[in-house]
Amino acid sequence: MIPSPRCFSLGLAILMALPLLAQAPTQTPPPPTHAPSEEGTIQRFRAHAAPRAVAQRPPLSTEERNTIRRFKEAKPSVVYVSAIFPVQDLRTLDITKIPTGTGTGFVWDEWGHVVTNHHVITVEEQGKRIGDVNEVEVTLADGKTYKGRVIGTSFAYDISVLQVFAPLNAMRPIPIGRSSDLQVGQAVTAIGNPFGLDHTLTKGVISALGREIATGYNTHILNVIQTDAAVNPGNSGGPLLDSGGRLVGMNTAIAAATGASVGIGFAIPVDTLNRVVPLLIARGRLEPPSMGFVTMGSYEAQQVFGITRGLVIREVDADSPAGRAGLKPLEVDAEGRVKAMGDILLAYQGRQIESEGQFMAMLELEAPADEVVFDVLREGRVIKVTLNLKAAKKAVPTSI
């Protein structure tokens, strides 16, 4: 390629300028100058380098001694919860268990039960819930980690109970208090694992009572405690203690648009925990009515069928309200492949169904009538199906 006249002229100009550049004097900054008095001062004072004398500490205040004591007493009851989610390699079909989230929990009783928030064991992807874990790892205050399983869940109250397979003598139940007689201004402390920093203590006061907060399942928790004790991501599921070291609430949410604490935290009152947790330990769920159908998980339905709203009926018990009402399940062949779509539940008692968690929350909070009505999508048409629950059998935890 032949250079253009413009390029040739530019190159010639550069060549002619090179000797001039070579002759230009190099500009170097002058060395720093220090006054002799400054150097002398520095050298003279270096000779005095030595550890500082320790000032005598005044006695700890009564409040400080109480806080230290209560923290030491409560620490063995507070645990670190890691949710474990199985992931399958599509190429090798190997199952790998990976941690998907962390939070806090506390030992409920002498039988190895740990209480935490349900959202601590929820798996999310890009802000959307894709499922819940069944297996967890629980690290005790002594640093030892044990396997745990989720044995009870309430969607409506955002509470889960874990059975931890640790030596029972290594798990110290937390003292239980009462939330009905709490007062605004009362001192409280929170212990948790914010940002993975285990057994972090923060202190504050009860700043309000009787608050109402929303859960991720379109329900609201009532009589919530508001506190200014700093709580952050990772504090969820941790205990809120009164000055006597008793559990008065479970830290569950913060008021912050960015996810960082702004001095307003919320805790589920212990009176609610003391009512709900024993039921979850005994039955696994707050016992819903037996309707006789099993649904496909919302995430699975979206991945398999592209369905983003409502519940896909997977199975129907013929001798149940659902079976007698004619609800239709998925039709599958002998190898489990879907042959035909079943019914899709769009609404319950006139309210839209967004997910299985939200539907379970509705059933937990409301005692259903003798008859309930579903809006059902069947073969491209929306119809109403009425279930008669009068003759329903006892609920089974694996079905709704």
DSSP 8-state symbol, 112: S
- Report the distance separating Cα 269 and Cα 161, nearest Å: 16
Which residue stretches of 54-100 are H helix? 62-74
Can 220 be counted among the known catalytic residues? Answer: no
**Residue that has been written with the tokens 């203590």 in this structure:** 201
Nearest to 231 by CA among 288, 180, 275, 193: 193
- Report the distance separating Cα 179 and Cα 375, nearest Å: 40
DSSP letter string, 174-217 = PPB--STT--TT-EEEEEE-GGG--SEEEEEEEEEEEEEEE-TT
- Cβ partners under 8 Å of residue 91, min gap 6: none
**Residue that has been written with the tokens 């519940």 in this structure:** 311
Active-site residue identified among 77, 82, 118, 119: 119
Question: Considering just the CA atoms, what is the radius of gyration of the chain in Å?
Answer: 32
Which SS3 state, helix, strand or coil, does residue 319 take?
A: coil
User: Residue 15: which region, alpha, beta or left (left: phi > 0; alpha: psi -120 to 50)?
Assistant: alpha
Active-site residue identified among 158, 228, 271, 343: 158
- Report the distance separating Cα 346 and Cα 384, nearest Å: 10
Which SS3 state, helix, strand or coil, does residue 356 take?
A: helix
User: Residue 326: which region, alpha, beta or left (left: phi > 0; alpha: psi -120 to 50)?
Assistant: left
DSSP 8-state symbol, 46: H
The answer to whether residues 107 and 99 touch, using CB atoms and an 8 Å cutoff, is: no
Can 34 be counted among the known catalytic residues? Answer: no
Upper half-sphere CA count for residue 325 (Cβ side, 13 Å): 26
User: Residue 295: which region, alpha, beta or left (left: phi > 0; alpha: psi -120 to 50)?
Assistant: beta
Active-site residue identified among 77, 82, 207, 236: 236
- Report the distance separating Cα 100 and Cα 124, nearest Å: 8
Which SS3 state, helix, strand or coil, does residue 43 take?
A: helix
Can 119 be counted among the known catalytic residues? Answer: yes
Q: What are the residue numbers of the active site?
A: 119, 158, 236
